[in-house]
């Protein structure tokens, strides 16, 4: 391998076809061929999220944080009550955004590595009814996977809107937006969606659009205001010219390719592949003597793994892993960041990729002075993959 392989929780490695599309000459954003591409990308995004034809996709130039901002800016008005299901760093970012737009936030917090159950949410809402519930599908800082289906069902018992941050989950973890009652599902291009960084993506339900249309106050963000973007998205999907701000043309072209690759594989197969790769990685890490930050593997994400450092090992060992061919990420959650590291395995990740990462971890541990039996992690992973 001529360079270390990128195995962090985003950006990820992208397919050759996506990168080739990125390199094409940039067309006009009103070129008929590009209008067709943008329209296809909107339709494909809706399909990947398993949302119905009356759900509205938005493709915006920006990061996953912009997608979060767009959802909250349009759905939260001053005085609205929001319950934030808090499973880590990015849940807390969502709370900050809600407060920025005048929402009154109740945090329902789990300890790092723990999750929030539907029963806990039901009890919290019984004490303090809310207009909106936000959920982080996978919090990248803890590797915790939430029960979006169960939590959304509880929120709907209270007629609350549901926003789900799917930045580290979309197109990897099982997600059925319409069937599960999620009003806004959002993500960023550089994770399992499989496109270089630069696009914020979200799909809004009819109920979310109705809440936005019934606002009593103007949207507090000029750039995020759906009043400007909705006509543009509708125009592109109708294969017509629309303009508010210049789209990230090459990124949209690449996104259209990556979405088609996801759909060609099939959503059920995509979900199953991520479970298989995750199980293989976690089995390999366990065989090397490492535990995980998530307290229970039943709520451990399938898009990344968060192994705890063995005794006597710290983040310095990641430089040895890089020298062995894999770039991994250190911890992120401020309370426990020195205790664990992170391995991303999402998007176009393959069996060979996760074996490369595990082999590099094993070699890196030995170089850092931790005794690990040669090949034990790889054997455990291969047993799962077989």
The H-assigned helical ranges of 192-266 are 206-213, 226-237, 249-265
pLDDT at 130: 96
Helices 267-287 and 376-385: crossing angle in degrees, nearest 10, is: 150
Contact 272, 362 (CB under 8 A): no
Summarised one tens digit per residue, pLDDT across range 86-117 is 999 999 999 999 999 999 999 999 999 999 99
Residue 208 has pLDDT above 70, yes or no: yes
Q: What confidence tier does 1 reach under pLDDT thresholds 50, 70, 90? A: very low
Q: What is the CATH number of domain 5-10+266-385?
A: 3.90.1150.10
The kind and range of the H/E element at 376 are: helix 376-385
Residue 121: strand pairing partners: none
Across the chain, mean pLDDT equals: 97
Tokens 């996709």 found at? 57
Other Cβ atoms less than 10 A from the Cβ of 298: the count is 9
Summarised one tens digit per residue, pLDDT across range 140-150 is 999 999 999 99
0.95 exceeded by pTM: yes
Contact 364, 310 (CB under 8 A): no
CATH class, range 16-265:
alpha beta
Q: Do 5-10+266-385 and 16-265 come out as alike in CATH topology?
A: no
* Mean pLDDT computed over 283-298: 97
Residue 190 has pLDDT above 70, yes or no: yes
Half-sphere exposure of 311 (CA within 13 A, CB side): 0
pLDDT at 384: 98
**Could you give the 3-state DSSP secondary structure of residue 284?**
helix
Cα 17 to Cα 20, 24, 69, 253, 351, distances in angstroms: 5, 11, 31, 11, 19
* Mean pLDDT computed over 350-366: 97
**Percent of the chain clearing pLDDT 70 (strictly above):** 99
Contact 161, 171 (CB under 8 A): no
**Percent of the chain clearing pLDDT 90 (strictly above):** 99
**Chain CA centroid to CA 204, Å:** 16
Q: Where are the domains of the chain?
A: 5-10+266-385, 16-265
pLDDT at 12: 97
Pick the closest to residue 182 from 162, 165, 166 (CA basis). 162
**Could you give the 3-state DSSP secondary structure of residue 36?**
helix
């Amino acid at each position: 391998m001529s360079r270390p392989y990128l195995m962090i929780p985003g950006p990820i490695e992208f397919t050759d076809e996506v990168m080739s599309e990125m390199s094409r000459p940039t067309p006009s954003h009103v070129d008929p061929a590009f209008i067709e591409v943008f329209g296809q990308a909107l339709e494909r995004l809706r399909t990947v999220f398993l949302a119905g034809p009356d759900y509205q996709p938005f493709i915006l130039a920006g990061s996953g944080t912009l997608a979060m901002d767009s959802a909250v800016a349009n759905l939260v008005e001053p005085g609205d009550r929001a319950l934030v299901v808090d499973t880590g760093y990015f849940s807390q970012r969502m709370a900050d955004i809600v407060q920025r737009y005048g929402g009154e936030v109740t945090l329902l917090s789990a300890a790092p590595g723990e999750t929030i159950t539907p029963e806990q949410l039901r009890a919290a809402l019984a004490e303090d009814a809310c207009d909106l519930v936000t959920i982080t599908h996978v919090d990248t800082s803890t590797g915790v996977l939430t029960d979006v289906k169960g939590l959304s069902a509880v929120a709907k018992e209270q007629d609350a809107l549901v926003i789900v941050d799917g930045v580290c989950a979309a197109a990897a973890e099982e997600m059925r937006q319409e069937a599960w009652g999620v009003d806004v599902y959002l993500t960023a291009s550089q994770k399992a969606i499989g496109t270089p960084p630069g696009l914020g993506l979200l799909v809004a339900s009819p109920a979310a659009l109705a809440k936005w249309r019934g606002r009593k106050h103007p949207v507090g963000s000029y750039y995020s205001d759906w009043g400007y973007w909705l006509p543009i998205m509708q125009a592109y999907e109708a294969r017509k010219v629309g303009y508010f701000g210049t789209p990230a043309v090459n990124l949209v072209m690449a996104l259209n390719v990556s979405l088609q690759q996801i759909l060609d594989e099939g959503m059920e197969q995509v979900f199953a592949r991520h479970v298989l790769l995750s199980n293989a990685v976690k089995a390999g890490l366990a065989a090397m003597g490492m535990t995980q930050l998530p307290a229970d593997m039943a709520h451990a994400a399938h898009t990344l793994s968060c192994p705890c450092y063995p005794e006597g090992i710290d983040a310095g060992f990641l430089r040895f892993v890089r020298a062995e061919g894999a770039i991994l990420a250190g911890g992120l959650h401020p309370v426990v960041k020195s205790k664990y590291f992170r391995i991303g395995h999402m998007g176009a990740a393959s069996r060979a990729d996760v074996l490369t990462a595990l082999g590099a971890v094993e070699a890196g541990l030995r170089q850092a002075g931790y005794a690990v039996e040669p090949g034990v992690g790889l054997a455990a992973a291969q047993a799962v993959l077989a």
